[in-house]
Amino acid sequence: MVTKAKPPQPSTERVFQLSLWRPFNTPLHRVGLAGLYMSLNYLQPFKGNVIDWDLTPESIILRWKCTDREALTWLLNHTYQLHDSIQGLIKIPALGEISTDTAVTIHNGILSTFLQHPSSVGGEGIKKCTLQFDENQTMEVDYKAINRYNHQDLNPFAKTGLYDKQDYFLPYIRIAQWLIPGATEKHVAVAGGKTRLKPGFD
């Protein structure tokens, strides 16, 4: 039996638990959890500003007292960015300081896999970047410059949105995304083609 969750009051602490071995987790979920772990570890100096957390080798516990929208927006803004110095290049702060050639390689890899669908990004055309390998060797490479990508705003992923009118997560979130194995909507005329996800609050 599923009961509809009552929207919490702003002063209520929200506790969100994620585990590697939670039922129905796929390998892709576990990779995502590892990425979240890296991001939170990088953000340790900001711990407690908006979100507080505990990290263990197999789980993550997130806590916040603001709305869910405020918490998730803060996390996404600090996790998925664009480079200031290189136009249109994806920046993942958790990776730390990386060379330009590594940044371009990661950018091209993400655009050819997770963000390969044209609607996943906002494009600014093909740009050129000169990579310096040593004093005598350089190479000019092309990359697709972008001005946004889907990981910066998760709301469009959800067919009915993520939040209620008070900016808290809906009891269930309906998705139809090719990115998540088993959750693809094969055809809009086929009933039941969407998957419902329930936020992992205690």
Domain definitions of the chain by residue range? 83-148
**Structure token digits, residue 36:** 């979240």
pLDDT for 3 beyond 50: no
Structure-derived torsion over alpha carbons of residues 76, 51, 25, 152, reported in degrees to the nearest 10? -10
pTM for the model:
0.77
- Tens of pLDDT, residue by residue over 24-52, are 788 888 988 999 999 999 999 999 999 99
Secondary structure class of 75 (helix, strand, coil): helix
As a whole-number percent, the residues of the chain with pLDDT over 90 amount to 42
